[in-house]
Structure 1
Amino acid sequence: MNIEELLLHIEKRPQMYFREKNVYFLETFLGGFFVNEYLKNKDFKNDFRSGFYYWLKNKFNLEENTTWADYIDIISQKEELNSFDVFFREYYIYKNESK
Structure 2
Amino acid sequence: QKKLEAAAEEYQKVIRLQPKDPKTYGKLVQLYIDNQIHLDIAISLAQTAIRLAPSSSVYLNQLAWIYYNTGQYIEAEQSLLKALKIDPNNQLYLEGLREIRKILSQ
TM-score for the superposition, normalised by structure 1: 0.31
Considering fraction of residues, name the structure with more helix.
2
* TM-score, normalised by the number of residues in structure 2: 0.29
Q: Radius of gyration: which is bigger? A: 2
